[in-house]
Amino acid sequence: MITEDPKHQDIHEYLAEMEDIPGTRVFTAARARVGYHINQFAMSLMNAENRAKFKADERAYMDEWPLTEDQKQALLARDYNRCLDLGGNVYFLSKLFSTDGIPFAEAVSTMTDMKFPEYREMMMQGGRSPEGVRSIKANEAAAAAKKEDR
Amino acid sequence: MARITAGVASSHVPLLGVASDFGKDRDDYFGPIFAGYDWTRAWEEAEKPDVVILVYNDHASAFDMKIIPTFAIGCGERYKSADEGWGPRAVPDVEGHPDLAWHMAQSLVLDEFDMTIINEMDVDHGLTVPLSMMFGKPEAWPCKVVPLAVNVVTYPPPSGNRCWALGEAIRKAVESFPEDLNVQIWGTGGMSHQLQGPRAGLINKEWDNMFLDGLIGDSDHLRRIPHIEYLRETGSEGIEMVMWLVMRGALGKNTRMLHRHYHVPCSNTAIGHMVLRPDNGEGLDMTGRDVTAIAAE
């Protein structure tokens, strides 16, 4: 097991490692800054009156927030991977899942390459294995080694 | 003197709250999950804790992006269930213990843990789901609660080592509170799960069980696991397990396991649950209770 010595924790190494996980957007300060208004917008949907306003006219409701056009398009399309890229965080975005009345797991499944029934079946079978999805760098190194072998 | 008599670890998946509230807790899907808590519900009835220090994270309910406290302690009189987008859960209000909470806050700050003090907030599934799992569906929760919220959403969250050390300081704070109180500490969240991106749905049974094993006995190696290992091995939301280390740190050098439960899946998540006693000569009952005998009472 890797152990941590907080006295020797280099912030740049720490942040670089956060970007080394396949298919994962860790909610770092950089993402939190870009996504501030996406997340605050999503937060506003905790209020029943706001949910009704949003449902009546999504575009008009979002126009009241200082969101970028990209962010608005991603939200309108419910393209959650794109929302993550633009600074959204899943706990905030989940207010939109519940506004839409869809289960959390169904919304999560849209970020994978599976349809919900298939995703649910994967979970029933014990979930996604960490094998092969631990590190982008390790995967690249393995792929390069395989290429050399040929 | 107040004392910490037990530590409880539990996942806090929101869907468990839905299952409990809508009577699905014994169906084919949820039955095996809730069955793993039957022992604990009977045991809690016998234990009758006065106060639970409930370590959890807020999921964009009480705290939005405006203010992000790393460690926050609830010192209020009572807390309502938050509206997380579905309307608030129909569960009793959570009664605080402001005397103990303020005492802890002062003691922790003097011990160099610079706590954020919360006097008013709503509490979300992170706090109310563990109450449902451990106490079922009572008219009122059978004990008072000191909410202790940890930031595990915006990076970096506190290190595992810091969480463990906070637990140690909590033990000291509780033991210096003059009133006789039976106090439990609960660490919630986890276990392996990833709720975002193409890698969503990640589960790592082997790692989760290694972590459960590590809570038992006198080893403190879990406090040195770096964030990146939680992320790689247990998914982006598996980081919540650092909150279990606050609980473990508060139990002193040695622990004894009374009950353990692990189940996959619940929605996107692996369910983990454990009941621990501090085992440092406190003279606590280490046998666990005979659940059938309690049920017959």
The amino acid at B249: G
Band of residue B72 on the pLDDT scale cut at 50, 70, 90: very high
Nearest CA to B249 among B273, B226, B219?
A: B219
Structure tokens at A29: 């300060």
Catalytic annotation, pick one of B12, B59, B103, B193: B193
Tell me the per-residue pLDDT of B19-35, one tens digit each, with 9 for 90 and over. 999 999 999 999 999 99
Instruction: Count Cβ atoms below 10 Å from residue A15 Cβ, excluding itself.
Output: 15
Q: Which comes out higher in pLDDT, residue A55 or B290?
A: A55
Mean pLDDT of B271-282: 96
Neighbouring-strand partners of residue B129: none
Mean pLDDT of B247-265: 97
Structure tokens at B244: 């279990």
B193 labelled catalytic: yes
**CA distance to partner chain A, nearest, from residue B177 (Å):** 31
Report whether pLDDT(A13) > 70: yes
Mean pLDDT of B108-121: 98
Report whether pLDDT(A8) > 90: no
Instruction: Count Cβ atoms below 10 Å from residue B172 Cβ, excluding itself.
Output: 14
DSSP one-letter code for B156: S
CA dihedral over B88, B90, B95, B101, signed as positive or negative: negative
Provide the pLDDT for residue B99: 98
B259 labelled catalytic: no
Structure tokens at B211: 């972590």
Inspect the interface and report whether the beta carbons of A80 and B196 lie closer than 8 Å: yes
Band of residue A1 on the pLDDT scale cut at 50, 70, 90: very low
Mean pLDDT of B123-152: 97
Nearest CA to B81 among B117, B118, B126, B51?
A: B126
Provide the pLDDT for residue B83: 85
Residues 119-138 of A with CB under 8 A from B: 119, 122-124, 126-130, 133-135
Tell me the per-residue pLDDT of A131-149, one tens digit each, with 9 for 90 and over. 999 999 999 999 999 888 8
In angstroms, the Cα distances linking B67 to A99, B62, B72, B74, B166 are 24, 10, 11, 15, 21
Weakest mean pLDDT among A19-33, B18-32, B80-94? B80-94
Average pLDDT in chain B: 95
Report whether pLDDT(B143) > 50: yes
Neighbouring-strand partners of residue B269: B266
